[in-house]
Amino acid sequence: MQFKHLTAILFVAGITAGLNAQASTDIRVTYAGSMGKVMDQALGPAFAGQQGGKYEGQGQGSYGMARLLAGKKITADVFVSITPGPMQILKDAGLIDNAVPVASTSMVIA
């Protein structure tokens, strides 16, 4: 068996500025499609509930979502990617300075 480590990267795209600029604490999160259940059924609603705002999540392939963000076709307060590649797209577009790995997991291939 071989093990691969995937890095989960959480990028907070101006969340403080975005939330302060809005009258309420609504939050728009764009994420890798594999994060859908966690984001839409747990983290997103919990955050919105604590802040008294609304949660709007949109998830698809993280490379595609990063390209849409970079092209200003969609907007988000937060972008969550499972791999670092989509973050480079946002760096190249001048939308972020850096991304911080916050977790990792092992993938088992047999």
Task: Identify the CATH number of the domain in which residue 20 sits.
Answer: 3.40.190
For residue 100, the enclosing domain spans 2-109
The residue among 14, 41, 38, 42 whose CA lies nearest residue 28 is 14
- Measured CA to CA in angstroms, residue 28 lies from 2, 6, 75, 106 at distances of 37, 25, 8, 29
- 55-68 per-position pLDDT tens digit: 999 999 999 999 99
* Residue for token pair 């919105």: 48
Give the pLDDT score at 85. Answer: 92
* Residue for token pair 């890095």: 7
The residue among 19, 7, 36, 4 whose CA lies nearest residue 102 is 7
Give the pLDDT score at 23. Answer: 52
**Number of domains forming the structure of the chain:** 1
Q: How confident is the model at residue 90 (pLDDT cuts 50, 70, 90)?
A: very high
Q: How confident is the model at residue 24 (pLDDT cuts 50, 70, 90)?
A: low
CA angle 85, 88, 90 (to 5 degrees): 120
Q: How confident is the model at residue 19 (pLDDT cuts 50, 70, 90)?
A: very low
